[in-house]
Chain A
Amino acid sequence: MNGESKPLSRRLVPYWLMGPGLLWLVLFFVIPLYFMARLALESGTLETGFTFSWEWSNFSDAISRYNEQFIRSFVYAGVATLIALVIAYPLAYAIAFRGGRWKNALLFAVVAPFFVTYLIRTIAWTTILSDDGVVVDVLKAVGIVGEDGRVLATPAAVIAGITYNFLPFMVLPIYASLERLDPRLIEGAKDLYSSPRAAFMKVTLPLSAPGIVAGTLLTFIPAAGDYINVLFLGSTNTSMVGNAIQSLYLNLRDYPTAAALSFILMAVIMALVVIYIRFAGSEALMGEEEEAT
């Protein structure tokens, strides 16, 4: 549409518009990643200083020292993502198809947790799950938790916190895909004598798949890197890779190991995302569909 006939000055307009913002992203996102990669290959200690020496062993060291935290991160994030999906899908469905004039209010309730500081809402959960709180009392009465058992400082508490904190990321994309769905398609299926269940399985669910894919990614990625929930709801026995990175960087100041660990985390997440998108075969990731405009 933008022919080559346009004068150079006009063709440069988009670059001028994007330039400053993209430059900012390059300077403070891309280049820092390069420096982190360099740091990950340095050797030395805080006292002697660090020097660049292609120290690949930092990576294998980091994995062998922190493989437990790694596995925990991905297991917790995976479980939390699944629970979030189970909670979010019916919720999104109800808002999209039964919300009526309450739709906006309900959507607002979904994002409301974001308007309370992350740390505060996590701390609120420490009150809810505290040893002499109602939740623990009920769980004790039903026998899920033993007499002197507790919920805080267990993996369950960490997973519950993660699920809560990232649930809106799951609800919103699923809602968006259901909202776009043409209800006549479902009616059509029913007119053709499909049972409500079959109509759901063959029409609604497949058409909302892009929302599910986007939602699970938006939940899983921050969940895998999270360390706040462990700090407040967990213990050293539930620490995740984020906790290791944080303490290596900010307390122990073992920068090379910390950088190597961050890189591995990012690489593993990217790899999982790529595999997942291939597997789910979705065009759902942002931006692609709008390119035609």
Chain B
Amino acid sequence: MKTLSLALRSLANRRTTALLTLCAIAVSVALLLGVQKLRTAARDGFANTVSGVDLIVGARSGQINLLLYSVFRVGDATANVSWDTYQKVARRSDVAWTIPLSLGDSHRGYRVLGTNLDYFGHYRFAGGRELTFEGGKPFADLYDAVLGAEVARALGYKVGDPIVIAHGLGNVSFAQHEDKPFRVVGILARTGTPVDRTVHVSLEAITAIHVDWQSGMRALPGGRVDAEAARAMDLTPDSITAFMVGMQNRVMTFGLQRAVNEYRQEPLLAIMPGVALTQLWNLVGIADTALMIVAAFVVLAGLLGMLTAILTSLNERRREMAILRSVGARPRHVFALLVTEAGLLAAGGVAAGVALCYGLMYAAKPLLERRFGLFLEPGGLTGYDIGLLASIVAAALLMGALPAWRAYRNTLADGLTPRV
């Protein structure tokens, strides 16, 4: 008790240095905790890129490949799923809903996704958040398009603007579906997922714009079908790229997955997005570990700063130590005093760092959600966080042992009359 109060008074006496040291530790702790929180948010956000979807079904390829093109709009499908097969699965009694996905076209570098209205009703991200409209409404007409937030922002589109879809995926495509222009009817709110970078149209629209195309080429002028004539045709697609499935009961997911994977008529693959996302995160998640290591080194630098501050104070405090000895303090009291000082600085720094980190998180939360679609839930300190913070204080105590040991040695050598 007396050591604690002495250490506190001693630190208060050197308050400028002590405060600066404390600030250095606080900033480094805030950084470490911030990285830890962001990393959790990023991982959760990633794992929640799509949620509420029990299975994703596509042509047989790799698990990651299917995930990449169906959810992240990266890469291409090797083959399609036939409409009949899709209908067979969709009509099963254990299936609650399906979202068809038809990919292959683009608009100025952004992928165009053909789907149906179930997409807006059932798609979930970030732990069950629904898609919401920042402006407009879902597509109703054949030539209506709904834009993801980033598409609208980057290209400066607003509701009512006309857009032309390009054939294929190139950023600059020479084959345009300019004969069948679309109209923007809705713009989605930012989600922080690939939805933001997607142009949504109806499945029928995808069929309509390709109705007079064959083998990747538009038909010769004689065989062309204009936009209005296409409306009268049967626009049910022959095939789709993939589809998402929501089960009546999650327990049945495995049953359907096996059934799809063993389907004889067509080589199909069904994946559980959560499992595949975790696999993918393990591939891309190395960066956040690197960030964590950097943050840990910043904390180490903060603690080394503290060590320097205490060590440099030792010489000018030899007199103080000698006085303490003359009134009966033992060398171990001197040792304890300095370790306590290190502990107090670190504990104060950690506390201030936590406060700083939470302050910043609450301040930055709206911005992160709006600009980066990163849904940061500050929450409480997890067991892991507490362990992390405790180990910082423990490291400080351990480091404090160095000046403490030197003071101990000084004290023994100086006795009551320091030679300074």
- Do the two chains bind? no
Contact residues of B with A, CB < 8 Å? none
- List A residues at the B interface (Cβ < 8 Å): none
